[in-house]
Structure 1
């Protein structure tokens, strides 16, 4: 009953013999479909009061490395690769067409190996659900890159190329939250932000610019 979140996280990491643990966390979803990170220093049961039983928690990447190429452990790289696949599929990692085609081709190369006309029919890309909106044009481009550019790459190499390309995208590591309404009030560049702070369920973004001093956002959930 008093088991804390850190114990559960350590248990999962020990099960997989995962050494680089600081990138990861445990996430759950409340009845309002809001995602929350399990806080390591608080009892698990107390945090899960708002969730439905039986409780479902997921092991996820929480902190995305700035330079994924410097990750030491192969398992850590693989888990980040799986997380990025999920981010792409759920529309969190936004990709221009060319980048989407390359990332998709890297995934296909990692899953299937080299293109083989005897094994891969003209619509084989359709068997893979890679993007929330997967057009025929995109599938054909993925097939073209897989066929002509990635031949000879081992699974680990294709996964590494995917990480290298994905981490340069603007929404890499971004954790979006739904907002009511679609009116954009302010657009602040990160360089123009001087301070971030929380007060209860209100999140403040304090800017350097005189004309935009403070933007405030109210969260219905317990945390952002």
Structure 2
């Protein structure tokens, strides 16, 4: 890498390595020496974005979760999304009921072991798979039961696709939780999805502001503001982060997600300012394609699909990550959320 090499070069290099065409869902994330996460900006120099000295540790991962999984064109893209969701499950980010957790677990086991075989799969074979952060014997028994009875005949691509469809139906699909406190000092997690801006307390979603109802996002110091409308009334929600850097990262993520999911064309995207006065504060503009453009581009792909090289079973058990060469398991940065009764929900957790 040269000093002036921009982030887009590295993104393109990785996507070419994978032969990945539907690349706009993905990005590169890194953690600075202060343990603050950042997305690598494609139009800026890599060296200028890094606050540490080489070698750099970065993660290639899903940045914008597809809001229409059925419209993903290629199996390769679906497989990479499957690996990301499997990692989200492993870190407790996908909040779901006990029955949904068993279904997701059975999808993973079917995708990686194939059909149940009593000669090859001993009584406690599910315990070899570390699928969830808290995995009880009761849950493992249910996963084994579903794997034996409900998934026979599904090849890896079908089992992975079924996992995507189930994950997509869950409330926390695509939520990258940002820890903060609300105006009352209550621990809260903020996230951005295809539907809009979401707020969680404990494991319950308490707010969903659709993107069409979000007028402006801004921050000052450690305070993040969301200006929107709830039940036809204007509302301002404020949240407090641990550091100004965390607040700026939260704001950038919000600006990018709103642009990606809300607009019909990338030409409609405007430069956003963090302040009421445009020439003050931070300015930022999302520079990629929007979701509708990505889906349209996918529909026009006509090449012979590339071969999908799935990771071995031993790798997938030990490292529930996208690809060992391109993603590194970072230390969990999200605080632990309180855990409800397992029979009711498999909770959000560290990740």
Q: Partners of 1:132 and 1:196 in 2: how far apart? A: 36
Q: Where do 1:1-224 residues align within 5 Å?
A: 1-49=3-51, 51=52, 53-179=54-180, 182-183=186-187, 187-191=206-210, 193-199=213-219, 201=221, 202-209=223-230, 213-219=235-241, 220=243, 221=245, 222-224=248-250
Q: Is the 8 A contact 1:18 1:76 kept in 2?
A: yes
Q: Partners of 1:7 and 1:14 in 2: how far apart? A: 10
The 10-residue stretch of structure 1 (208-217 or 51-60) with the greater mean CA deviation from structure 2: 208-217
Listed as ranges, the gaps of 5+ residues in structure 1 are none
Q: Partners of 1:196 and 1:96 in 2: how far apart? A: 34
Q: Is the 8 A contact 2:228 2:234 kept in 1?
A: yes
| SS state at 2:160 partner | helix
Deviation for aligned residue 1:58: 0.9
Q: Cα gap change, 1:52/1:115 in structure 2, threshold over 3 Å: closer, same or farther?
A: farther
**Which protein is richer in strand relative to its size?**
2
Q: Partners of 2:87 and 2:187 in 1: how far apart? A: 28
Deviation for aligned residue 1:52: 6.2
Q: Partners of 1:195 and 1:132 in 2: how far apart? A: 37
Q: Partners of 1:4 and 1:115 in 2: how far apart? A: 48
**TM-score, normalization by structure 1:** 0.91
Q: Which has the higher contact order (CA 8 A, sep 6+)?
A: 2
| SS state at 2:48 partner | helix
Q: Cα gap change, 1:156/1:37 in structure 2, threshold over 3 Å: closer, same or farther?
A: same
Q: Cα gap change, 1:60/1:47 in structure 2, threshold over 3 Å: closer, same or farther?
A: same
Q: Cα gap change, 1:123/1:32 in structure 2, threshold over 3 Å: closer, same or farther?
A: farther
C-alpha RMSD over aligned residues? 2.1
Q: Is the 8 A contact 1:27 1:60 kept in 2?
A: yes
Q: Cα gap change, 1:177/1:52 in structure 2, threshold over 3 Å: closer, same or farther?
A: farther
